[in-house]
Structure 1
Amino acid sequence: MKGAPGGGAPGGGRHDGRYGEAVFRPEQAGEGTRIDFGALAYDDITLARLRELGAGPGWRCLDVGAGTGTVSRRLLEEAGVTSVLAVDRDVRFLEAPPVPGLDVLAADISAPSFAPGRFRLVHARFVLMHLPERDRLITALAELVEPGGVLVLSDAIDLTSGRTPDTPYSMTMRAMWEGLRATIGTDVSWVPAYPRLLRGAGLGSVAAEVHVPPLLPGSPISRFWADTWERSRAAMVATGLVDDTDVDAAIRYLDADECAALSAGMLTAWGRKPASGPAAAPA
């Protein structure tokens, strides 16, 4: 569950850091394991959707912000796609083990020079929420989809609200979003606009769905949040919404039988590039 880091602040906000630098540094011990906990929580849902959209033999795929490469490898090994180009700003988790058909590219997708070609499938999960200029990036990713192909975007949606009781869990989750926004520019408030943005990028057959993994003691998603809070603790405490005692209580709650809360959800939206452009006007 790793997004490609980006600079600049969404929504006019200000921040000084980038994903992978200010927080979630890939060189920090255990960061690959944290990413894999997210993958265990979401990969089955992601693969089912990609296969439902047709991913299979003959497809060339682009996996943006590929993290530890679990989706890329499963596309090759289970869906049987022809090839996957796995892209991340830091590719240390993608270099082994080698898989036939898997190519790895270290790149920043927000760079104007990013142009790896055209693909039947372009997929990005938990990436754009960390990046500015989202409208431009969605349009740029749509341009990488070949006619008849699909763009699939997944990002987090926050299910806490003003009506959610103030528990250590809910306060810690709110502090996480606020702390990440202030530190690296993460913003999930716009994610429900995905379908409209895909349509605006010229794609058709646009649809979306939401998956909320259950918070169960010892589950991958519970362990993911516990690790995420530990690694972003300083940013969370800096918001003033929680202190270390609150964060510790929330982590204990995730592993308790009395845990009764909603995880953040994953919204997945997709759209298909028209198979052919409009008919040319007569000369």
Structure 2
Amino acid sequence: MTQQIVERYGDGVFNHAVLTEDERLSALTQELDPASFGRLGSLPFRSDWRCLELGAGTGTVARWLADRCPQGSVIATDLDLQLVQSRHEEQANLSWLHHDLTRDDFPPGSFDLIHARYLFCHLRSREHDLSRVLGWLAPGGWLLLEEPASFPIESSLHDAYRQTSMGVFTTLAERIGTDCRWPRTLHEHLNRAGFTEVEVDVTYSVVGGGRPMSRFWELTVDQLAPDLREVEGITSPMITETLARLRDPEFRDLGMATIAAWGRRPGSTA
């Protein structure tokens, strides 16, 4: 029997070798970093924390964590590290690790903080993977998850933008298993796992007018255009109109929301 090959994020779609992928992820980083740093900064940091950054992307969050924990350590992981290795200098307490979250483990209780952004929604085995990650936290350790949500786009009054953008989620669901409705459950996952001090937050993005999220979404739609033309109800003129609106300095609409949830594993770090 021939084994079916299942596509993952980065195998084909969003591969780091795509010429515009660095720019696409850099635009997303510019959009998301201020809120991420604010949420992380609200935690009761200690300078000796052991931190894990899952899905390092362009490496800005890992670098921020390393600066906050000079007596601690940060391990930043990704399936493809070329975007971080090409732009960041070496730092004694920061290491980059090629790591597949769905297959590779860490010993139980290894970390005082685990952060992941825009990662679990792209994993077909996200429920199982999240349960494993929870075990990597030390008693009293913190978990912060930030994931994209599609609901603001679903209510857009701009038909071409709405249908084309929702086609992005359909395409990603079919190709790599992405689910941008799943993040609405983050809070409940932490509650069911017995975490304490659980909080939830949401931030909204605006597209148009040269904003970072607009550029990120433009490059996303452009990269997926061949697949989008195969989605029922989406035409080439609709894709062209959407790209034009995203570049239009006068256009304004909502982009994806970011849902964040964080909490503390029961127990004491002392």
TM-score, normalisation: structure 1: 0.86
> Which residue in 1 is equivalent to 2:19?
29
Question: Do structure 1's residue 203 and structure 2's residue 195 form an aligned pair?
Answer: yes
Bigger shift: 252-261 or 32-41? 252-261
**In 1, Cα distance between the equivalents of 2:68 and 2:105?**
28
> Which residue in 2 is equivalent to 1:70?
60
1:16 Cα deviation from its structure 2 partner: 4.5
Q: Check conservation: 2:154, 2:166, Cα contact below 8 A.
A: no
**What does the per-residue CA deviation read over 1:26-74, in whole Å, with 9 as the maximum and x for residues that have no partner?**
1111312211110000011101101101235111110001111111012
Question: How is 1:72-221 mapped onto 2 (pairs within 5 angstroms)?
Answer: 72-77=62-67, 82-95=72-85, 96-111=88-103, 113-115=104-106, 118-160=110-152, 163-221=155-213
> Which residue in 2 is equivalent to 1:38?
28
Q: Check conservation: 1:61, 1:120, Cα contact below 8 A.
A: yes
Question: Do structure 1's residue 57 and structure 2's residue 64 form an aligned pair?
Answer: no
**In 2, Cα distance between the equivalents of 1:130 and 1:242?**
23
1:105 Cα deviation from its structure 2 partner: 0.8
Q: Aligned with 1:263: secondary structure? A: strand
Question: Do structure 1's residue 239 and structure 2's residue 218 form an aligned pair?
Answer: no
Q: Aligned with 2:170: secondary structure? A: helix
1:175 Cα deviation from its structure 2 partner: 0.7
**What does the per-residue CA deviation read over 1:56-109, in whole Å, with 9 as the maximum and x for residues that have no partner?**
511111000111111101222367573210001111122243233110110111
Bigger shift: 246-255 or 123-132? 246-255
Identity %: 29
**In 1, Cα distance between the equivalents of 2:150 and 2:140?**
32
1:273 Cα deviation from its structure 2 partner: 0.7
Bigger shift: 140-149 or 37-46? 140-149
Q: Describe the shift of the 1:98–1:262 C-alpha distance in structure 2 as closer, same or farther (beyond 3 A).
A: same
Q: Describe the shift of the 1:226–1:81 C-alpha distance in structure 2 as closer, same or farther (beyond 3 A).
A: farther
Letter in 2 for 1:133: S
**What does the per-residue CA deviation read over 1:251-279, in whole Å, with 9 as the maximum and x for residues that have no partner?**
111222442311110101011011249xx
**In 1, Cα distance between the equivalents of 2:6 and 2:128?**
22
> Which residue in 2 is equivalent to 1:281?
none
**In 1, Cα distance between the equivalents of 2:154 and 2:23?**
33
Letter in 1 for 2:57: G
> Which residue in 1 is equivalent to 2:217?
225
Q: Describe the shift of the 1:43–1:161 C-alpha distance in structure 2 as closer, same or farther (beyond 3 A).
A: closer
Q: Aligned with 2:260: secondary structure? A: strand
**In 1, Cα distance between the equivalents of 2:33 and 2:70?**
16
Bigger shift: 268-277 or 131-140? 268-277
Bigger shift: 218-227 or 80-89? 80-89
Q: Aligned with 1:19: secondary structure? A: coil
> Which residue in 1 is equivalent to 2:255?
263
**In 1, Cα distance between the equivalents of 2:265 and 2:258?**
23
Q: Check conservation: 1:207, 1:269, Cα contact below 8 A.
A: yes
**In 1, Cα distance between the equivalents of 2:94 and 2:218?**
31
Q: Check conservation: 1:176, 1:236, Cα contact below 8 A.
A: yes
Letter in 1 for 2:63: R
Q: Aligned with 2:248: secondary structure? A: coil
1:166 Cα deviation from its structure 2 partner: 4.8
